[in-house]
Structure 1
């Protein structure tokens, strides 16, 4: 996001020079101009997202970083799968649609990206980087049933969820089955952040005693959220669009259920179409194939050459690595080292 800062800094300098009450209108005009210029330079925003950006330009950096955090976590969790989020990361921007069919992989991609934005905005609030939010003080001073007291700077997860919902969901305007699926998974990602919040405490008292304990809610490492969503991915629910005479708008219901028109839970990930095998490149389904992917010849898991290469076989590459080792200092004044070497093999899918 260095390009964004390039347009923000000149306006910050101008604002610093306009500190008189007589320049309030000038300040407002400069702020509006800077926000409009900033948001017009961000690629991939819809008209509604651009309006949100203009109203809260200090949040756009957090939103971008949150989207990238989601992409990195997706790549980490699926590093041993045939689909490894490579197409998701290959996009030109972080705000565009993920080019995937409505599979369970798309469900995870949207959920983890939405979770990343929620996470980043909430963290930025606690650090004071966004002017319209801060810490969650609603419980400050209250006592829990266990006797400890709410204090510190609790993560304002409700603001993070609200802001992420407003911004991320603004892209889903089509109103079709895929938009309903995306909106559901976006919400599931935001709920995952709230679900995985942890409580941190600090003891107070003489000589380290814990006569009084204050606690607050804080964000966990984002990889915890990624693992939580991966479990949801493994149990993702197939859905179809249901149109009822009683309701004007369609909604999603579970495909395989004995109960009529039963809806999926809000925490579930849902998908519309069966996943392809991701063995061969097919951009229409969001598959880059597995040709050239590194594999583990001895593994029987998803990263094993048999599974990852889809039965096509693999190439073996031999490398010799050399480095200085067993170094010893002699007085005075030189260092003598031996040369060590190691023969290694690398395997890539045909």
Structure 2
């Protein structure tokens, strides 16, 4: 949303309404920064007010706030203009940077993804004796406002489950790439097959593609039961 505003794809918002920057080294505020103020307000209104009546609702509210913080800041620590990256472009003679145009940008989405994945992998299990305030299941770990939390352990997707997963028995994998993880340590079967596929294709004038049929033997790997 913030980037859509700065790119001119939104009718309701424009560039970042940035606070004043100190005019150091002849920096000049310019360009078109990502509109964090508008996007943050929009997301909160879009998600609406979350209920906090029970433990699950409180956990959902907590994780929603963590997601907003990660998505709207450079380092996933807090929502503020200070956490946004300042990007500058030089306008001096021969790129001497005697004058620079600067604007603020949010972090690239792949960086946000890394932050979320890291938080997911270090998330804390919580519970509550009163079904109200989330309390860590480990006495030495107290959930922070930047931690993802959960109530129930994830089901195992390695074995067949009535509600969650068909399991990975018989699933195709790639040796030396993902068989160990997909097969959950059970090992894999190897089967040799003769496969015929189109090959050496060429575009003929006009207008069709002509291919030869190539036959080769391939090894197929599937997870053991």
TM-score when normalising by structure 2: 0.72
In structure 1, what is the equivalent of residue 148 of structure 2? 269
Instruction: Tell me whether 200-209 or 156-165 shows the greater mean CA deviation.
Output: 156-165
- 1:224: Cα distance to partner? 1.9
In structure 1, what is the equivalent of residue 207 of structure 2? none
Q: Match for 2:133 among 214, 230, 251?
A: 251
- 1:343: Cα distance to partner? 4.8
5+ residue gaps, structure 1, are 1-120, 244-248, 328-336
Which has the larger strand fraction? 2
In 2, the alpha carbon distance for the partners of 1:345 and 1:138 equals 59
Q: Match for 2:176 among 298, 302, 305?
A: 298
- 1:211: Cα distance to partner? 0.7
- Flag the 1:206–1:219 CA change in 2: closer, same or farther, 3 A: same
- 1:148: Cα distance to partner? 3.3
Alignment of 1:131 with 2:11, yes or no, is yes
Size of the alignment, in residue pairs? 205
Q: Match for 1:210 among 97, 100, 124?
A: 97
Give CA-to-partner distance per residue, 1:233-286, whole Å, 9 cap, x none: 11111222375xxxxx93323221348xx4x222211111222221134364x4
Contact 1:313 1:349 in 2 (8 A): yes
- 1:349: Cα distance to partner? 3.2
In structure 2, what is the equivalent of residue 191 of structure 1? 69
- Flag the 1:223–1:137 CA change in 2: closer, same or farther, 3 A: same
5+ residue gaps, structure 2, are 75-83, 203-210
Q: CA RMSD in A?
A: 3.4
Which has the larger helix fraction? 1
TM-score when normalising by structure 1: 0.49
Contact 2:124 2:150 in 1 (8 A): yes
Give CA-to-partner distance per residue, 1:98-154, whole Å, 9 cap, x none: xxxxxxxxxxxxxxxxxxxxxxx2222223333332221223x62366763332111
In 2, the alpha carbon distance for the partners of 1:229 and 1:144 equals 35
1:195 aligned counterpart, secondary structure: coil
In structure 1, what is the equivalent of residue 81 of structure 2? none
